[in-house]
């Protein structure tokens, strides 16, 4: 288990920090090269509703709204967890939400229309955020990624969204997706280029891999395990590349 000594820092009252964080978002957009996250009345209302509480909860852990975030999702158990980067560059577990619904079973998405939710390593840019979603708020995972394309996998518009219904996506409650959106928008607008979202069938422990050793997807799942373990060991998000049709670790950020 990683152990560390956190540096002390001067802290403003939570409500003041929330107000500063929320008001500073538009100013960040003036910086050249920073893309705007799409916004409408729905997403602005979500941020206004959740930014103060999230700021207070983050501050209690020595974290800040607008710091880089990393999301890790498992199908079994069906949970999505947000990790937030601290002042020392490590990512600390902040909050988990149950996945309200997802389509299919354990295993990666293979083809358009198979109603299977994807597994693998994805990244969300500002342009993949959709505040006008028919499912409250959503972001596109970017499936198929380079690995999926190398394997001939097809599909489109694979999302994490609200409304608690799924036809191939990961559905959250509306409250959960509003909190997730607020964390992501703040991070993107404070300079995080893309938000990594890593999706696993289950926690990549040796026991779980052994339990599923006879599954047709066992080889694919073993290829995901090094990234899971790298994060467990370092507290830093693993950088994964695709080479020769396989996932390979390229370091940590």
Tens-place pLDDT, residues 117-171? 999 999 999 999 999 999 999 999 999 999 999 999 999 999 999 999 988 899 9
Strands (E), the chain: 69-74, 79-85, 91-98, 101-102, 120-124, 129-130, 138-140, 159-161, 170-171, 195-200, 238-243, 246-252
Q: Are 198 and 72 in contact (CB under 8 A)?
A: yes
Are 246 and 223 in contact by the 8 Å Cβ rule? The answer is: yes
Within-domain flag for 94: yes
**Owner of token pair 């600390």:** 92
Structural domains of the chain, count: 1
Residue 1 lies inside a defined structural domain of this protein: no
**Which residues are CB-contacts of 38 (< 8 A; sequence separation ≥ 6)?**
126, 127, 129, 130, 131, 132
Tens-binned pLDDT, residue by residue, of the chain (253 aa): 453 433 333 333 433 333 333 333 333 333 333 478 999 999 999 999 999 999 999 999 999 999 999 999 999 999 999 999 999 999 999 999 999 999 999 999 999 999 999 999 999 999 999 999 999 999 999 999 999 999 999 999 999 999 999 888 999 999 999 999 999 999 999 999 999 999 999 999 999 999 999 999 999 999 999 999 999 999 999 999 999 999 999 877 6
CA distance linking residue 38 with residue 132, whole number of Å: 9
Tokens linked to 51: 């930014």
Point out the residues that are catalytic: 161, 169
| Cα distances (angstroms) measured from residue 99 to each of 22, 95, 136, 142 | 27, 13, 15, 19
**CATH number of the domain bearing residue 239:** 2.40.440.10
Whether 252 is covered by a domain: the verdict is no
Quote the pLDDT of residue 23. Answer: 34
How far is Cα 163 from Cα 183, in angstroms, rounded to an integer?
19
Ramachandran class of 121: left when φ > 0, alpha when ψ lies in -120 to 50, beta otherwise: beta
In the block, residue with structure tokens 């500063």: 20
Check if the beta carbon of residue 22 is closer than 8 Å to that of residue 47.
yes
> Which structural domain range is residue 137 located in?
14-246
Question: Does 62 fall in a domain?
Answer: yes
Question: Would you say residue 251 lies in a domain?
Answer: no
d(CA 13, CA 115): 46
């Amino acid at each position: 288990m990683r152990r560390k000594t956190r540096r002390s820092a001067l802290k403003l009252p939570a409500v003041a920090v929330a107000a500063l964080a929320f008001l500073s978002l538009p100013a960040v957009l003036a910086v050249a090269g920073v893309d705007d996250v799409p916004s409408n009345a729905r997403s602005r209302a979500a941020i206004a509703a959740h930014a103060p509480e999230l700021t207070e909860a983050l501050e209690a852990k020595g974290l800040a709204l607008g710091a880089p975030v990393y999301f890790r999702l498992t199908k079994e158990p069906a949970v999505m967890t947000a990790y937030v980067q601290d002042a020392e560059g490590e990512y600390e577990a902040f909050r988990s939400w149950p996945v309200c619904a997802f389509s299919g079973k354990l295993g990666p998405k293979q083809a358009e229309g198979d109603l299977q939710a994807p597994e693998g390593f994805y990244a969300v840019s500002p342009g993949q955020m959709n505040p006008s979603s028919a499912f409250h708020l959503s972001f596109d995972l970017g499936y198929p990624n380079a690995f999926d394309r190398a394997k001939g996998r097809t599909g489109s518009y694979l999302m994490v969204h609200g409304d608690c219904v799924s036809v191939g996506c990961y559905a959250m409650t509306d409250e959960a997706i509003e909190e997730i959106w607020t964390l992501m928008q703040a991070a993107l607008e404070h300079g995080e280029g893309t938000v990594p979202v890593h999706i696993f069938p289950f926690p990549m422990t040796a026991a779980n891999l052994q339990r599923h050793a006879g599954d047709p997807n066992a080889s694919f799942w073993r290829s995901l395990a090094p990234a899971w373990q790298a994060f467990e060991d370092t507290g830093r998000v693993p950088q994964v590349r695709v080479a020769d049709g396989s996932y390979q670790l390229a370091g940590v950020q």
